[in-house]
Structure 1
């Protein structure tokens, strides 16, 4: 059972990479200039890597064209400690996700796909109830959800996502 879930996740990630490659190829009309400095609002097809903290093993956000890729977030408070039960952690993760999207010219209504990981699949109905409350009605993204035997910092839930950038906000 776990092998088929991992195989399915690999197929999904492959499809996402292919879609991004196609988007990058379609938008690669810019002329390369050595003095070109990427910015968060740039229409540059080259990826921009935004790291939350020095020495982190991955970027917290990567922007490629008009697509944001957010690393998985945990339900941790301002001091970095994990908060409460799975419901509290899910609320915290989703609020953090919403904040990161807003800071990068996107929103919950622009989320295309989420990856949700829980340490106990039996908690998925509770997680789903909280999760669904953060998206505008009729705008639930595609999603992959699975159980893992453990998450960083003994968290119970982790959520990462792919989102479109709000085109109006990037023109302001």
Structure 2
């Protein structure tokens, strides 16, 4: 049976959804932007720093569920300006082992919630439970 979880360190979603949905096999994390993070305001407008903060938060959320970024199988990235993809890729790649990158989609979404430049969502395989 899926668990629907809101992370107590993040603002409650302003949409009808959950921060995380966990089932027996996967962890699904809703899209995050710097607008969702308490330390995100200072980074807004700096695509590299926005990417770094969001990836660190996603990593923290996975660790909290006894996982890691090594367990990620799919990532969706939405950029306010697709021309920023090379800056995003430079930071994004730092969070994964070379050659072991998740399947990924990247789209341009000119209006991202909270005036952010990037939103990232992911799906990760859950660790085997005894």
Which whole-Å CA distance do the structure 2 matches of 1:123 and 1:69 have between them? 25
Paired residues of 2:79 and 2:118 also in contact (CA < 8 A): yes
Identify, as 1 or 2, the structure richer in helix.
Answer: 1
Which whole-Å CA distance do the structure 1 matches of 2:99 and 2:21 have between them? 26
In the TM superposition, what is the alpha-carbon distance from 1:165 to its structure 2 partner?
Answer: 1.2
Match of 1:93 in 2: 54
RMSD: 1.7
Task: Give structure 1 stretches of 5+ with no counterpart.
Answer: 1-45
**Residues 130 and 152 of structure 1: is their aligned pair in 2 closer, same or farther, counting only changes over 3 Å?**
same
In the TM superposition, what is the alpha-carbon distance from 1:55 to its structure 2 partner?
Answer: 6.1
Match of 1:152 in 2: 113
Match of 1:124 in 2: 85
TM-score scaled by structure 2? 0.87
Which whole-Å CA distance do the structure 1 matches of 2:68 and 2:12 have between them? 26
Off by >2 Å, runs of 4+ in structure 1? 52-57, 75-82
**Residues 149 and 91 of structure 1: is their aligned pair in 2 closer, same or farther, counting only changes over 3 Å?**
same
Identify, as 1 or 2, the structure richer in strand.
Answer: 2
